Structure 1
Amino acid sequence: MTAAWLSDVADRTAAAGLHRAPIARRSGATEVNLASNDYLGLSTHPDVIAGAHAAIDEWGTGSTSSRLVVGTVQAHIDFEDDVARFLGTDAALMFSSGYLANVGAVTALAGRGDLIVSDTGAHASLIDGCRLSRARVVVVDRGDHEAVRRALAERNEERALVVTDSVYSIDGRLAPLRELYAATRATGATLLVDEAHAIGVRGPGGRGLVAECGLSGAPDLVVTGVCSKSLGAQGGLVAGSTLLRAHLIDHARTFIFDTGVNPAAVGAAHAALRVLVADPGLPDRLLANARRVAAAIGADEPDSAVVSLIVGDPVAAVAAAQECRDRGVLVGCFRPPSVPDGTSRLRLTMRADIDDATIDTVAAVVRDALAGARIGAA
């Protein structure tokens, strides 16, 4: 019975062009990788690799338990202190992934009898946090800060939480953070901003869109982020007040009941943070590269590292991504449910360590793949 049901679902998924399968990267592969989120190219930086090795030598390969048992090593604390200082907050807490950081923060800050206001651009981890919280959830159109303000003003609940990505992951556009923060302050709510695609990309020295908007360390503002994108490692972050950190340690289930981030990832993330602090021009180079490739393929000027190219049909999008791969360029391919029906797309995530000649090659490959996809779709 179960096998028949799963087989039927698999057939329908494949027929809709929505089947997915992991494709392993090969050691020593020569493709240009514009499908990852390694925005600053730090996952292979020698200092970052050395940081991971040093942490393994000192602490071993695994954290061995929950952070609240014996899974916290001094490396966790040192990194949390430095990343909080970098982000302009009083404290930070490291989770095993950005997904768990968002779920943990949302469910620890809102529950039954509270209100959460989210938008249609929220990452899946924020959506799942909203669902698990058991709070009443109001979903508004992406970027509609007036709708957020109305939902907050009309609520019956005493406590309210607004959640948003600062840089929307699908197309790299920016959320109106100043307006959202003003709405939360005016109505006694808290704003949670996921900076996963903004840290290392936007703001002074890559400190994120919150910093760019002059909101670093602002009251009733919570920042979440990741170490798996611009920092080239792994792990999630929640940053804010010391009281927030203490609250998460006591109430965030994805922190309490999860094994701590392994020492190698902590050492790598900390080393990557030092590289970024020492070279604050890296985000500028990244954005310049994104704008260059967007101009070359006829895309809108990007606000971040993400260059999004709508194909429409999921089968055509998969074919275009495969043509790029066959010609040595790895690009993302986003299909429903990651994007709305009819908006399947190629998604290029630019890097700071790509040279101009490589960008020109990428642009030519992507232009050809898109032309073929559109002819096929027609």
Structure 2
Amino acid sequence: MRILLVGEFSRLHNSLKEGLLVLGHEVVLVNSGDGFKNYPADFSNRALLCESKLGNIPRQIIYRVTKFDISYLERGIRFYFHLRKLKNFDVVQLINEAPIQTTRKFEFFLLKKLINQNSKTFLLSCGVDFITLNHMLQKKERYSIMNPYFEDTANTKVQYWHMFEFISENHKKIHTFLYQNISGVIASDLDYVNPLKENPKFIGMIPNPINTTKIEYKEPQILNKINIFLGINSSSFYKKGVHFFEKALKIIEEKYNNKVNIQITTNIPYKQYISIYNDCHILLDQVYGYDQGYNALEAMAKGKVVFTGADKEFLEYYNLSEDEVAINALPDVDYLVEKLSYLIENPSKLIEIGQKASQFVKREHDYIKIAATYLNKWNI
């Protein structure tokens, strides 16, 4: 079968491609690299000109004057010139409702052409889209990535403006068109199930695929200090709850100055990110999730103890006990300090949890097993 995967924000589609190739399918991946993360693609619509040192100068000038980022236009144009090579696929899967990352009107035009020149199209609910944003705005969950927006000042809200494009009139046209033309929508983890569960197009949740053949598990070597790592993506600083982690780490640094080594990075490429955290024992991921995202799962596969979404919904779904494979991170500094303190004072737990985390990812997120599940959902 010929399969086209469109868009990438976490390496989900790259791992899925690897699993599908093992199963004997022809797979093509097109994406924009997602900025500084620079994910691989067979066909790239990355805004190379606008992101270059020379091209970034007029880009910034235009943005200051018009508040329009011309890199969106470049991504759309580059995708347009790939279109003739992106036809006659048996299945097309979109990473979310705006996978091309161009202007909404151009996105609609390109998605319409793409869908019309291929067979079946499926949509992933992976990140923010029309349905999930409306769900969060109605405060239907105990907490969500919108909490900082509801609770804080304009200083916090500036990071949320682009999310509201998903409920704009221009995007609503895309959403309506997609749901009229897709064969089904799939949730990439438990966070997206509740917003979709009553939708007739919803065909279920498929866990993130992780290629553990490329990830080496190493039992933690705890010598002098416990290494704690926090990798910050500044564009999702509040949405990930990084401010809670930062406050907790300040307390931990004062409390256990001679027992911990804390490393914090900001906006580094994906390959550099995963190489830097290799020596850490504890990785701080996010506080507003009910399940793990891709970065958390990769770290768990390596045997790291990850502070991430591991709430009761996750424990019930996978039949796990609290803190068995990950630490459920909550938007509560005192709680985070308590959990970190326990691990620092009981380093043997780092080895125990790390081993179980790695086994869990291999069992539930194996990329070949997950690829087969996708094929079943696609009915091919």
Report the TM-score range of the alignment, normalised by the length of the smaller protein: 0.3 to 0.5
The answer to which structure, 1 or 2, has the higher relative contact order (CA under 8 A, 6+ apart) is: 1
TM-score by length of 2: 0.33
TM value normalised by structure 1: 0.33
